[in-house]
Structure 1
Amino acid sequence: MSEASRNSTPDPQAARRRAVSAFAQADAGFLDAAWQRLGAGRRVGALRGPESGLVMVRGRAGGGGAPFNLGEASVTRASVTLDDGAVGHAMVLGRDGTRAHFAAVFDALWQDETMRETVEREIVAVIEAALAETDAKRRSETEATKVDFFTMMRGED
């Protein structure tokens, strides 16, 4: 899917899910610095958290088998409100309350129609590009260790 078609997602829920996913995966320092640029003068009120807890991670053998409990993972969630009444929510993997707070703040800011394009361009696109670069690097490192196995005929039969 091209960058343009991702950013022009007609479904507003899908677009918000994509943005929230990016915020949740971003570095807390990056989000803090971005808030200093974009959120200057706005007040943020905490509705809930940040608070940490556990979630059960489930898996399926082969992708289609019966589900099984794989284990627990730490998560941190936060809900905030901006001074204009917008409410943002976030849940991040791990115990980083600062990251959960700023992810929720940017969820709320993204919902502001006047700020959405700026947040998409300066925050979401930058995060997605960094994640794609990290993924490409990981893929190339993995590809370098790839071993091709082949079967040889044995002379027994």
Structure 2
Amino acid sequence: MSNVMQETQQKMRKAWLSVMAKSPEGALTKLFEQETAAPDFEWLRPPEVGSVMVRGRTGGTGAPFNLGEMTVTRCSLKIASGEVGHGYVQGRRKGDAQSAALMDALMQTERAAELQVKVLSPLEDHMAAAQEKRARKAAATKVDFFTMTRGED
């Protein structure tokens, strides 16, 4: 496999893992269970809750600093056909982490296109709609400040 192809696959995998990691509680599991039957699998690492350090940068470009800790749930599994899936999700959500790991493994099979359409795209649409709703709500409270010229000069 060429390096370009490998890099493309890594970018695609990073994208779908990101969507699943940021998904609202229960949304991924609900969509996954509606659209597909879970394949047989064996645990490599059963779901476990822990925390990760979140780092930030001032202005997005400054020196990194530790912002704080965030709770995450992670797991790893191997489906019967041999693909390994990893699931990391925000919060204490063992079911969502398992669904994310199963989705990750299945996205590496020939079912990727089907699952993209039936699970990931609706999840992305739901998250985008929620983001737009938050943005509209914030915009409604926006206050424009301006300076009026004082006639004292």
- Structure 1 length-normalised TM: 0.84
Q: Which residue of 2 aligns with 1:31?
A: 29
Deviation, structure 1 residue 102:
0.7
Corresponding residue SS for 1:11: helix
One-letter amino acid of the counterpart of residue 33, structure 2: W
Counterpart of 1:20 in structure 2 is 17
Q: CA deviation at 1:25?
A: 2.8
Q: 2:50–2:73: 8 Å Cα contact kept in structure 1? A: yes
Q: Matches of 2:64 and 2:101 in 1, distance apart?
A: 31
- 1:68 is aligned to 2:69: no
Distance in 1 (alpha carbons) for counterparts of 2:30 and 2:142: 39
Q: Which runs of 5+ in 2 are unaligned?
A: 1-6
> Over aligned residue pairs, what C-alpha RMSD do you find?
1.9
The answer for the alignment partner of 2:127 in structure 1 is 131
Superposed counterparts of 1:73-88, under 5 Å: 73-88=70-85
8 Å Cα contact 1:23-1:107 kept in structure 2: no
**More moved, 22-31 vs 53-62:** 22-31
Q: Which letter does structure 2 place at the counterpart of 1:133?
A: A
**Within 1, Cα distance between the matches of 2:65 and 2:151?**
44
Contact kept, 8 Å, 2:27 with 2:123, in 1: the verdict is no
Question: 1:57: Cα distance to partner?
Answer: 1.1
**Structure 1 unaligned regions, length at least 5:** 1-9
Please list the CA deviations of residues 10-29 of structure 1 after superposition, one character each: whole Å capped at 9, or x if unmatched.
92211111111222233435
Provide runs of 4+ in structure 1 moved above 3 Å: none
1:64–1:37: structure 2 CA closer, same or farther, 3 Å change rule?
closer
**1:67 and 1:29 mapped to 2: Cα distance?**
32
Q: Report the alpha carbon displacement of residue 70 of structure 1 after superposing the two structures with TM.
A: 1.2
Deviation at 1:34, TM superposition (A): 2.3
Q: Deviations over 1:34-86 (max 9, x none)?
A: 2354125x212111021111111111122222221111111111101111111
TM-superposed CA distance for 1:131, in Å, is 0.7
User: How much identity, in percent, do the aligned residues show?
Assistant: 42
Contact 1:61–1:67 (Cα < 8 Å) also in 2:
yes
TM-score, length of structure 2 as denominator length: 0.86
* Structure 1: distance between partners of 2:41 and 2:14: 21
Q: Secondary structure, in 3 states, of the residue corresponding to 1:55?
A: strand
The total of aligned residue pairs comes to 146
1:54 equivalent in structure 2: 51
